[in-house]
Amino acid sequence: MAGEDGDSEGVIRRDRFSGGPARGFMSSLAADERIFEADLAVDRAHVVMLASQDIIESEVASEILAALDEVEAAGHDSLSGGEDVHEAIEAAVIDIVGPDGGKMHTARSRNDEVATCIRYRLREDVLSALDAALALRESLVETAAEHTETVMPGYTHLQPAQPTTVAHFLLSYERAVARDCARLMCAYERINQSPLGSAAFAGTPFDVNRELAADLLGFDRVMENSMDASATRDFLAETLSALTTHAVTLSGLAEDLVIFSNKGLVELSDDYSSTSSIMPQKKNPDTMELVRAVAGDAVGELTGLLTTLKGLPRAYNRDLQRAHKHAFRTVDDAGEAAAVAAGA
């Protein structure tokens, strides 16, 4: 029976695992550092909502909020115990407040909590990737403006085909990156919806105010169907698809710059080139080669995500614990690659 195991190691939601490899295999605490701040924000909004609805006492809410401040100040590395960051934060709050700290999780499941945290963090990361993409567009436009009459060969099949200008060439990539930005903005609209209040998948008998919690967290709206809200990760697939398309665009630009630098048409900045360990006269386009490689990684991450999601029944399945990592890795890579391409 749940709760009867005395060797709980501070874990709030006790389970059948007493130790061994299973507990470590199930744990995502280390990887969850990415959503540590997001979890604290979601906890705060949920506690404020609970107090405003008279589901928990205002005094208890104040104690919990103060405890969350302490947890934030101590940082993710101070957490111990629990399968994930959500349990670990709850355990830390209970250590500070006492049993009343457990009221923080009233009217909530980890299912809607996790989904909300992922969306909260991912939207921030997507905006960062968009900033990098916009900076690349600005760089392309600025450089193109300096070369509206600079003639260069245009290629088909990598063979010289027709004369064109450097501006024409650069702006062809600016238009592609603009479409990448539009796709990311569409994905952002689907990300920025709140599943909080959906609980495990069928809602909660408590009189929660989902709109208030969503507003406190800056979401545009609440998700209407609670089963869909807790279980879906299609927003990850949409975001990762847009990021992969963007990475492919960057890969094409990088490839052209590698080829053109070899032909003597362009010279990459020294800050974005390297030399050889044995041939110091060389100027290697290493950064562009790495930008080119990001597309391959992105395709792999997208394939991994879609394979994880394929065939999952409703509602929640533990497979989803491994889903969001694909998107987080790719959003980082794409943002870095765009920033490097803009500088080169």
Q: Which residues are catalytic?
A: 157, 276
| Phi and psi torsions of 151, nearest 5° | -80, 140
Say how many C-beta atoms besides its own lie within 10 A of residue 263's C-beta: 8
**Which candidate, 178, 201, 17, 14, places its Cα nearest to that of 91?**
14
Instruction: Specify the pairing of strand 221-222 against strand 193-194.
Output: parallel
| Phi and psi torsions of 314, nearest 5° | -75, 140
How far is Cα 284 from Cα 119, in angstroms, rounded to an integer?
A: 39
Q: Are 112 and 229 in contact (CB under 8 A)?
A: yes
How far is Cα 91 from Cα 130, in angstroms, rounded to an integer?
A: 36
Per-residue tokens: 229: 């809200």
Q: Are 194 and 222 in contact (CB under 8 A)?
A: yes
Hey, what amino acid is at 175?
R
Q: Which long-range contacts (CB under 8 A, 24 or more apart) does 227-230 make?
A: 227/198, 227/201, 227/202, 227/314, 227/315, 229/112, 229/115, 229/194, 229/195, 229/198, 230/109, 230/111, 230/112, 230/115, 230/195, 230/198, 230/199, 230/200, 230/201, 230/315, 230/316
Per-residue tokens: 58: 């205002």
